[in-house]
Structure 1
């Protein structure tokens, strides 16, 4: 059963998909996605992210405990500071991406909506003798997003339940201490994506909407935010599948500390980074816009009719045109001509079952040579004969 966000009462609002576990529906756009993107990029618009989830961890051991379980060094996170960390399975595959904020009394874990309940349940099972308490607080707290370039102000007043403003600032803008960037670019597009997430009481959303109707700020839909994050090569939970590892998305850049010590999945992270290569790699695709079609997440990426990857997200960017993020085989040549498949809708927008192929040019995010940073010479197997 879905619940419509209060933002859908705003003029021009067009509903997107249900994102949270309780089916909260937010606006895909408000009638002009291109203008909304420009407003958002300039720091003049907010985005309704109330379909996302919030997990709280309280207790004296909260940061030390989270540090022992996840990929980023957060044991000494200062009150008011932001971080991003990943929860991996024992084989190093991605299970949860977590945007973390601590206010001195509570650690606030911001996640995609459908992740909140399973993450809270797993963490609760892992408490053992630690002085921590875990709760899914999604019903009480909502997230509002914006971009905050230099000189822009926060457009929404954050909650301060423990005297510290609940504002999470995306570390993707730069390589974090202990991290590593695979993208071989002088200026990373993430520097132009100063994303901010503000927590407010969920009960305050109708009042916020009334303020927007009175001219408090401009508003942008989820399509605008997704277009900007694709252009910034910014991964999120929805890009993942059951095989995903951090290296494939260049996520060591913001969410992994390579020398922090042991955590679940750390052995795989170290082995792939130091000695191996990720089996797949993230690319941004520039799509032919002739057909005015966008591939859906999961659509095949083809070379000469053979599937070599999958699309994870696609959007129309206000400057770059139609673009997508995709995960492709590491062995795929960086200049290989590609096509992606997209469904052709009927005149009424309904599914027809027909597909079309769209030409795509890849822009390398994670290069094929990513990994193997240790440069350790290969040692012959015991008993092997040298020739």
Structure 2
């Protein structure tokens, strides 16, 4: 179901859950430029929209997810994660707070997430309602264009380091504020929630496909559900900075988050890759990443998101083994057994000092408890 007006004859659609969402209009690089400049909006019609109402809505969601939500002020845009008992990411929720409700936006897996949340409601006064039939998500860079009917706006907090959170990125590891050099400042990504009835009557100045949105997201080093597999931990994606509060109460998976943060290292780390563009193609997500290990070429990771960027050419996000040297030459599997060279930009740090970035209150507790 897509209520956005656009030239149907030029549209190339996605597959599966994105079957009604426009992937591109045959000019993906122009679409990226227009979106980045605010001359176009992006089709995000595959996103699902829900509202959470009830007196216990904040306390309830706070108790089940990674973010501190109990005192969330109206007008705030944030995100939170639902983890497995072993700390792996299961669901990713974007949140817009209003006076008497929360908007919940799911890029993937919305129905499964809501089913699990409802199973954990018990006596809590909270109710989740599917609003996808009434509202559609539209992506913008910067504020919504004039005339776009907007009910609510999710303003991406990335790359800010939230209170009680921490950065795992090499650029600002251990800092309380995001580095001004962080690429996350490049594109001001926002999601507009638009009433479908009014959206059908709105004539946009330009529409970009989902591919354009993804290219700008990758440029921002911005992880998303597209970068998650069954083993992904929050630290591997540097998503603690916007989605996790390290000093809040217990929730499912918290022990794993705390154990890695205080005592260990993540097993994998996210990197940004410039992929050789001489073939004028880009490998698909899932393509294997190789490096020389003990004198032999071995698989050390895989691509999670890919795009051909309008300025940088083929780019990708990849999850690789944390122990892979930052100086290693990485190769990506291409077509017909070819391996494409890459230039690597480190996102998640190769090595992180334990408890770097831990909130002061936790450090003081450790000093009292262990005398160090």
Under a length normalisation based on structure 1, what TM-score does the superposition of the two structures give? 0.84
What is the distance in 2 between the residues matched to 1:153 and 1:293? 33
What is the distance in 2 between the residues matched to 1:91 and 1:316? 35
Q: Note if 1:181 corresponds to 2:167.
A: yes
Residue 363 of structure 1 corresponds to: 345
Unaligned runs of 5+ in 1: 160-165, 344-353, 377-387
Residue 381 of structure 1 corresponds to: none
Residue 17 of structure 2 corresponds to: 19
**TM-superposed deviation, 1:371:** 5.5
Residue 369 of structure 2 corresponds to: none
What is the distance in 1 between the residues matched to 2:91 and 2:154? 17
**1:278 pairs with one of 251, 266, 269:** 266
What is the distance in 1 between the residues matched to 2:261 and 2:123? 33
Q: Note if 1:92 corresponds to 2:73.
A: no
Residue 349 of structure 1 corresponds to: none
Greater RCO (CA < 8 Å, at least 6 residues apart): 2
Q: Note if 1:74 corresponds to 2:69.
A: yes
1:239-318 pair list within 5 angstroms:
239-304=227-292, 305-318=297-310
**Equivalent residue of 2:162, what SS?**
coil
CA contact (8 A) 1:227 1:315 kept: yes
**Equivalent residue of 1:43, what SS?**
coil
Q: Note if 1:373 corresponds to 2:365.
A: no
**TM-superposed deviation, 1:184:** 2.4
What is the distance in 1 between the residues matched to 2:235 and 2:65? 15
**TM-superposed deviation, 1:205:** 3.9
Aligned residue pairs total 346
Residue 172 of structure 1 corresponds to: 158
CA separation of 1:138 and 1:203: change in aligned 2, threshold 3 A: same
What is the distance in 2 between the residues matched to 1:133 and 1:100? 15
1:29-44 pair list within 5 angstroms:
29-44=24-39
Q: Deviations over 1:238-270 (max 9, x none)?
A: 111100011000001111111122111111111
Under a length normalisation based on structure 2, what TM-score does the superposition of the two structures give? 0.87
Give the aligned CA root-mean-square deviation in angstroms. Answer: 2.0
Residue 119 of structure 2 corresponds to: 125
Q: Deviations over 1:68-121 (max 9, x none)?
A: 111111111122211111111111110111100122222111011x41110111
CA contact (8 A) 2:2 2:45 kept: no
Q: Deviations over 1:362-383 (max 9, x none)?
A: 110001213522699xxxxxxx
Residue 46 of structure 1 corresponds to: 41
